């Protein structure tokens, strides 16, 4: 068996295994794993929202945690304080993230480091609100007892049910995300990342497209925030901390930027280290730092990148004979 | 005499304090190929960039089919029907050949500023069969000649009425230059209006209907290629050949 076939088989097995784990996690006998897996899915979606800007548009946002938090707080407040029906609360959560995105979107006028700084400052604004406006957000106490979502008489009654709901929503939005990336619009974002002036010369309004990408990103982050509020059932300033934005950016970098699976692989690593390693090693951030340094130095395309590179290389080796034969044919002509 | 489709009047462009384009007039007639010659640093590229407002001129106006386009954002100018093949074969290296070519189409479909859709993927591939072979390949991995064909094809895919080419033959092997020349001839037959900026005078003379020479930000010679060829003094003085 050739190397390429072995790699493909490995990839398929890994994918099937991931699917099986996704399905059976709630039956692993410990709700800890169910909650962890749900968080991985939610943060994977948040990581995708960052990757849309980071990898596909060439902007490095530091405020997606803010969209995430705005959506989470909105849902929590509407559900707990006003008893708003879940579908409306959820939609309001996503919409509030989108509106925040529309306002913060002015930052696309800045580029490079300035964009990072502006989004960082805007993100910290949301954090400030979540800590200081205690009348609205409960301050450090946060908002507790967020119920599981319900639709009329149908109510999600357990973590297991919530988990499957999260999985369904995340998969749905991941597929939607993939459509966005593959659309002509997504392609134009890649063009903007490569060269803004070339895109302008082709007739694209670069600023508008970056703005739209920014708002789309905020909407995806909002979906993740809504799921977070319902799953964790508790929203505190931790949701709006800078760490969320940073980790969401690290996830695709670790897993494989520009790929849908990469964001989730990164989420597994980061959330896994944070929750599992921290159980027996108080210095877990050191482990996280080491993993990050190693990946960035030795696998700049992320973990999925290693796999893809190996596959491409062995494919090329397999085709080398073919290509040589073809060259000879062409030379004869 | 055919109607001038692109008219530039008194274009003056500065980079900071340096006065690069010093009051240039240009008339481009429909279907005409105008070559703009001149040595390095004489303001040719800046003039082209000024026409599209990529570098903002301090003075002057540009009209396309009678409509004032100077002052419009560059992307709007592009949508009105001016295509640019930038210097140095600036393709999108991380997109595939096919993706590079389909980019302009998506903005036309979204914008609908112009209904014209003469150039399709198939037609560009017919013009440059090499690109069809490389359709799925990353553009950054193409050879220089292939990249320049790609930049060519990409500009065509935006279905321009006027095509601005900034030194399309720069740094290419003679066989590729010949291929580019053929492509320009084919475009001319299809009625394309072309403004060709070149250092390669011989190449420009072979494809152009009219030639201008630029020196120190001004146009110092206007005439037919034949006129220029028959005038070794002018060639020597402004082009150094």
In sequence order, which residues have a C-beta less than 8 Å from that of residue A90 and are 6 or more positions away?
A: A75, A149, A226, A230
Higher per-residue confidence, A111 vs A251: A251
What pLDDT does A122 receive?
93
pLDDT tens-digit series, residues A229-250: 999 999 988 888 888 998 899 9
What pLDDT does B2 receive?
55
Q: Sorting pLDDT into bands at 50, 70 and 90, what band is A16?
A: very high
SS (H, E, C) A126-147: HHHHHHHCHHHHCHHHCECCCC
Residues A30-54, mean pLDDT to the nearest whole number? 92
Shortest distance between the Cα of B79 and any Cα of chain A, in A, equals 5
Structural domain containing residue A82: 3-332
How do the pLDDT tens digits run along chain B, 241 residues long? 456 888 888 889 888 888 888 888 888 988 899 999 888 888 888 999 999 988 888 888 998 888 888 888 888 888 888 888 888 767 888 889 998 888 887 665 444 445 556 788 888 898 888 899 888 888 888 888 888 889 888 888 888 889 999 888 888 888 888 888 888 898 888 888 999 998 888 888 888 899 898 888 888 888 888 888 877 777 777 777 6
Q: Which residue of B has its CA nearest to A190?
A: B95
Sign of the alpha-carbon dihedral angle for A132, A135, A136, A140 = positive
**No. of helices (H) and no. of strands (E), chain B:** 10, 10
pLDDT tens-digit series, residues A203-225: 889 999 999 999 999 999 999 99
**% residues pLDDT > 90 (chain A):** 42
Q: Sorting pLDDT into bands at 50, 70 and 90, what band is A333?
A: low
What pLDDT does B109 receive?
44
Cβ contact, residue pair A195, B73, below 8 Å: no
Cβ contact, residue pair A203, B52, below 8 Å: no
What pLDDT does B164 receive?
92
Cβ contact, residue pair B74, A200, below 8 Å: yes
In sequence order, which residues have a C-beta less than 8 Å from that of residue A195 and are 6 or more positions away?
A: B90, B92
What pLDDT does A88 receive?
93
What pLDDT does B110 receive?
41
Q: Which residues in chain A have Cβ-Cβ distances shorter than 8 Å to B84?
A: 201-202
CA distance B31 to A261: 51
Q: Which residue of A has its CA nearest to B85?
A: A201
For residue B92, give the nearest of A198, A203, A205 by CB distance.
Answer: A198
Closest CA to B81 of B180, B5, B4: B5
Token reading at B217: 């930000």
Instruction: Select from A203, A208, A327, A330 the residue whose CB has the most chain B CBs within 10 Å, as the one to mutate to test that interface.
Output: A203
ipTM entry: 0.74
Q: What pTM was estimated for this model as a whole?
A: 0.83
A319 touching chain B per CB within 8 A: no
Shortest distance between the Cα of A127 and any Cα of chain B, in A, equals 36
Residues A74-86, mean pLDDT to the nearest whole number? 90
What pLDDT does A274 receive?
85
What pLDDT does A52 receive?
94
CATH of the domain at A273: 1.10.3470
Total domains, chain A: 1
Q: Which residues in chain A have Cβ-Cβ distances shorter than 8 Å to B90?
A: 195, 198
How many angstroms separate the Cα of B26 from the Cα of each of A76, B10, B63, B76? Answer: 65, 9, 10, 21
For residue A201, give the nearest of B54, B93, B94 by CB distance.
Answer: B54
């Amino acid at each position: 068996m050739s190397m390429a076939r072995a790699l493909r088989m490995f990839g398929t097995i890994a994918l099937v295994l991931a699917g099986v784990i996704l399905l059976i996690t709630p039956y692993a006998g410990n709700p800890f794993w169910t909650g962890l897996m749900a968080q991985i899915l939610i943060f994977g979606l948040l990581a995708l929202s960052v990757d849309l800007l980071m990898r596909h548009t060439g902007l490095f946002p530091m405020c997606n945690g803010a969209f995430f938090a705005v959506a989470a707080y909105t849902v929590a407040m509407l559900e707990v304080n006003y008893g708003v029906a879940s579908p409306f609360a959820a939609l309001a959560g996503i919409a509030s993230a989108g509106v925040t995105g529309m306002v913060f979107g002015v930052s696309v006028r800045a580029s490079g480091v300035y964009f990072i700084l502006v989004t960082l400052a805007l993100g910290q604004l949301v954090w400030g609100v979540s800590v200081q406006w205690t009348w609205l957000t409960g301050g450090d106490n946060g908002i507790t007892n967020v119920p599981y979502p319900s639709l009329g008489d149908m109510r999600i009654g357990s973590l297991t049910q919530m988990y499957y709901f999260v999985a369904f929503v995340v998969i749905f939005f991941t597929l939607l995300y993939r459509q966005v990336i593959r659309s002509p619009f997504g392609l134009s974002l890649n063009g903007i990342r490569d060269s803004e002036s070339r895109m302008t010369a082709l007739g694209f309004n670069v600023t508008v497209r970056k703005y739209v990408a920014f708002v789309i990103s905020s909407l995806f982050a909002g979906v993740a925030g809504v799921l977070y509020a319902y799953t964790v059932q508790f929203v505190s300033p931790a949701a709006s901390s800078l760490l969320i934005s940073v980790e969401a950016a690290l996830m695709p970098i670790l897993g494989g930027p520009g790929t849908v699976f990469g964001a989730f692989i990164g989420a597994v690593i980061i959330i896994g280290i944070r929750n599992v390693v921290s159980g027996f090693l108080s210095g877990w951030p050191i482990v996280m730092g080491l993993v990050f340094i190693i990946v960035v130095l030795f696998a700049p395309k992320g973990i999925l990148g290693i796999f893809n590179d190996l596959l491409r290389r062995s494919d090329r080796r397999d085709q080398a004979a073919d290509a040589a034969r073809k060259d000879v044919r062409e030379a004869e002509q | 005499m055919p109607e001038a489709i692109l008219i530039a009047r008194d274009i003056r462009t500065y980079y900071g304090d340096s006065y690069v384009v010093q009051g240039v007039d240009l008339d481009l007639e429909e279907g005409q190929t105008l070559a703009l010659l001149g040595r390095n640093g004489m303001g040719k590229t800046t003039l082209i960039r000024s026409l599209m407002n990529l570098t903002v001129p301090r003075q002057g106006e540009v009209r396309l089919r009678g409509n004032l386009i100077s002052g419009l954002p560059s992307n709007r100018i592009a949508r009105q029907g001016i295509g640019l093949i930038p210097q140095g074969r600036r393709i999108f290296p991380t997109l595939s050949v096919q993706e590079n070519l389909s980019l302009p189409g998506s903005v036309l479909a979204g914008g609908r500023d112009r209904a014209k859709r003469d150039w399709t993927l198939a037609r560009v591939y017919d013009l440059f069969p090499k690109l069809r072979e490389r359709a799925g390949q990353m553009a950054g991995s193409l050879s220089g000649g292939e990249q320049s064909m790609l930049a060519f094809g990409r500009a065509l895919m935006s279905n321009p009425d006027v095509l601005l080419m900034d030194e399309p033959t720069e740094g290419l092997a003679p066989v590729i230059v010949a291929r580019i020349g053929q492509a320009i001839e084919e475009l001319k037959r299809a009625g394309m209006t072309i403004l060709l900026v070149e250092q390669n005078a011989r190449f420009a003379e072979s494809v152009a209907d009219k030639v201008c020479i630029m020196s120190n930000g001004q146009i110092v010679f206007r005439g037919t290629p034949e006129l220029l060829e028959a005038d070794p003094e002018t060639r020597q003085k402004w082009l150094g050949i």
